[in-house]
Amino acid sequence: MSLYRDQGIVVRTWKLGEADRIIVIITEDNGKVRVVAKGVRKTRSKFGGRLEPTSHVALQLFRGKSDLGIVTQAETIDRFQNIRSNPDLFSDASSMLEVVDHVAPDESPDPIRYKMLLGALRTLDEKSPPLLVPAFFLKLLDHEGLAPELGFCVKCLDTENLVSISVSEGGVFCIKCKRGKSISDTSIAVMRAILGGALNQALEVEDSKTISEIDRIASEAVEFHLERKIRSRRVMDT
């Protein structure tokens, strides 16, 4: 049994008893933790609104014999107010939180995953580029070793005339081996940029057709590997 400090992002919460909540938090040093915030639903709770989804908080936690820790202190680092006040942005943030929640195992620290999520929330709150969520999905899949192959046909290994993609079969196909759904050269190039270290340039793309195509592919890829629909995902206009 011990007290420890960490910082993290609140992913989701649910009620426990008459006044408490269970809080799921992606932390920097301890991975995903599930903790109880006692009395948080009371009007005069010492936690106030600090432990709501998307909140970036500094924490003091108590680890006991139970699988659930206890929050003893919580201070807000960033509320991401723009996200909270805009339903579309909150939907986008919720979809990223939902996917990370399902990908991250309990109490398995992953600083890269944590920094990716925190960086994505900051960007969404400040700029909200339309490609941010699909780019986050692709980067997360890449981090987990699950990103679609975009450099060559996954059947014959040809690097030319790549015209379609199947997330269930692992990537793109050339014109001779065509399977899955058609994909434009532009979308392939932008996704390569996202995964190849040119994320900032990729996020500047404004072409609605390209954005919609990448959004569809990234969402399908995440849902395929999670084996579930993303409940909070906002469907982009085509």
pLDDT for 134-157, tens place per residue? Answer: 999 999 999 999 999 999 999 999
171 φ, ψ (degrees, to nearest 5) = 160, -150
* Chain-centre distance for alpha carbon 168: 20
**Sequence-ordered list of residues with C-beta below 8 angstroms from that of 205, at least 6 positions apart, any chain:** 131, 190, 211
Topology of the domain comprising 2-81: OB fold (Dihydrolipoamide Acetyltransferase, E2P) (2.40.50)
Residue 92: exposed, middle, or buried by beta-carbon count in 10 A (0-12, 13-18, 19+)? buried
* Residue 238 pLDDT: 42
Taking the domains of the chain in order of start, what are their residue ranges? 2-81, 129-226
* Residue 225 pLDDT: 95
pTM, rounded to two decimals: 0.91
**194 near 139, Cβ under 8 Å?**
yes
The pLDDT tens digits for 200-238 are 999 999 999 999 999 999 999 999 999 999 987 655 544
